[in-house]
Structure 1
Amino acid sequence: MHTLLHPTYFPNIAHFVSMVHAENLMFEVHDNYQKQTYRNRAYVYGANEKLALNVPIKHSHKNRQLYKDVKIVNDTPWQIQHWKSLQSAYRTSPFFEYYEDDIAPLFHTKQDYILDFNFKCLEVIFDCLQLDLNYQTTTAYQTTPSNCKDFRHLVNARKEKEYLFEPYTQVFANKHGYINNLSILDLLFNEGTNAVTYLKSQSL
């Protein structure tokens, strides 16, 4: 049975929990782009609590635009800003320096399409976690797909279901407490090689 997900920008813990438990992983690539989702947004733990990293995208004047056709707007230094935010948030974390050289190139090479960029981010995280996850992509959009676990709802940033995961050590937890279901980057920089064990121990 397939586990069906949207590819998102440095996916959150819920996305990765569903991935590590998947028998067969499939990503939706034929959907229409929607605002207020994790397609171009990730949350990390900044010095002043939860911090949103938003990739600027070019909105179409048409009513519908396919996710795979959505372009990134590169007339602002968003990549530099995102990388500086990650450095500020995680430079004191146990594993930031260990993974820094793997992740930094994503923010120093121009990116054109948000879907393509999200897959690049996923591949880098898979390598960092040493996750051998083979995946397929959809060939057409289905509103109600059969014979699959449909986790596409996880993409919704404003209407997401509250999944309570086991707390792990976070850099600023002593100031603001534990923040649940952040980007996989938070888990990676704080837990390093233990991240996969943590993900496998959680459930949706």
Structure 2
Amino acid sequence: MESKLLLPAFYLPPISYFHTIKEHALPLLVEKHENYPKQTYRTRARIATANGVLELFVPVLHGRKEHGPIKDTRINYDHDWQRLHWLSLQAAYRSSAYFEYYEDDFVKFYNQKHNFLLDFNMEQLELFLKCFKLKRTLEFTGSYYTADDVIDLRNSVHPKKGNAWPDQKPYYQVFEEKQGFIPDLSAVDLLFNQGPQSGSYL
């Protein structure tokens, strides 16, 4: 039997990521030695706005180590993306039932600067696990993981592969009347709309 769930650390991960974690009651092994892959949820998140889906991107520094391990990938602060992301989250969810309940937990990600993408994403992962009441032990890989004693989900949840939770049931969303239900958005969408019931929904 597989002993751990092998995952990447994402930025404001999609709901299917946490559905998978809940589905497998296993310790989490986070990959920190993979080469930084472009165009994945490691640096992007999807939220619902009055105008449809908005993608938020965390810029990273590129250079000689562009293809180096994710643990060495640094966040780029040349532009004030933190302010733009937080304004976008406020515009999208200020009227949701639980935004104010969680606001203080999330605003810190946009007021503090993390040097490394992995540290930034890991802090969010720990917060989401707490909010969803998913008690899991967390550890990092010591090198790029190649053993077969894990459930390897490093490439399963990907923006170009569609919804990793195809039978996801609708829940109330702020702009649902205008946009219809949008599946597999960032888990903040579920949290801000469903609050403490989010863990049960997963």
TM-score when normalising by structure 2: 0.92
Partner of 1:102: 105
Q: Distance in 2 between matches of 1:160 and 1:173?
A: 20
Q: Secondary structure at the match of 2:104?
A: helix
1:157 to 156, 159, 165: 159
Aligned-residue sequence identity (percent) comes to 41
Partner of 1:132: 135
Aligned length: 198
Partner of 1:188: 191
| Alignment check: 8 A CA contact 1:4 1:27 kept | yes
What amino acid is aligned across from residue 37 of structure 2 in structure 1? Q
Q: Distance in 2 between matches of 1:101 and 1:192?
A: 14
1:113 to 99, 116, 138: 116
Unaligned 5+ segments in structure 2 are none
RMSD between aligned residues: 1.5
Partner of 1:8: 10
| Alignment check: 8 A CA contact 2:163 2:183 kept | no
Unaligned 5+ segments in structure 1 are 200-204
Q: Distance in 1 between matches of 2:10 and 2:66?
A: 22
1:159 Cα deviation after fit:
3.1
TM-score when normalising by structure 1: 0.91
1:173 Cα deviation after fit:
0.7
Deviations 1:46-84 (A, max 9, x none): 111111010010123456211111111111111111000
| Alignment check: 8 A CA contact 1:33 1:70 kept | yes
Deviations 1:12-31 (A, max 9, x none): 11110111233222111110
Asked if 1:66 corresponds to 2:80, the answer is: no
Q: Distance in 1 between matches of 2:158 and 2:130?
A: 26
Q: Secondary structure at the match of 1:84?
A: helix
Partner of 2:20: 18
Q: Secondary structure at the match of 1:154?
A: coil
